[in-house]
Amino acid sequence: MNEGMPNYYSWTYLTNVLFVDQPLGVGFSQGQLDTSNEVEIAKYFKGFYKQFAKTFNVRDSKVYLTGSGYGGHYVPYIADELIQGSDSDHFELGGISLSTPGIGASNALEQASE
């Protein structure tokens, strides 16, 4: 391939879904979690996604967040951080979707699962 020529077979042309294990240490992600709450995790995610958008030139597109189960607990915090960040050059929140999110009082969730 010629240097400087776009690669039309690149994944950035073939998909629009990015799966991220969040927070650090869950799923296949590796490392030590150095945050103490959901707000800090959301700030880290925003920083990660801004660098991701710059690196792969996927700016100026809407971002849709989704989470299931335990992951659904973090989506509202990340969504709020993206909205408060007001940086539509790198991310513009288009919407969120939660599927059986782990939110609410833990004793209510325990009773609901019994």
pTM above 0.85, yes or no: no
Start-to-end C-alpha separation, the chain: 58
Which of the pair, 60 or 1, is modelled with greater confidence?
A: 60
3-state secondary structure of 59: coil
Q: Determine, yes or no, domain membership for 29.
A: yes
Which residue range is the domain that position 93 belongs to? 23-113
Q: Determine, yes or no, domain membership for 10.
A: no
Tell me what the pLDDT averaged over the chain comes to. Answer: 76
Report pLDDT digits (tens) over 56-83.
877 777 788 888 777 778 888 889 998 8
Q: Determine, yes or no, domain membership for 38.
A: yes
| Structural domains counted in the chain | 1
Q: Spell out the SS3 assignment of 46-85.
A: HHHHHHHHHHCCCCCCEEEEEEEHHHHHCHHHHHHHHHHH
pLDDT in the model for residue 60: 73
Average pLDDT over residues 31-60: 83
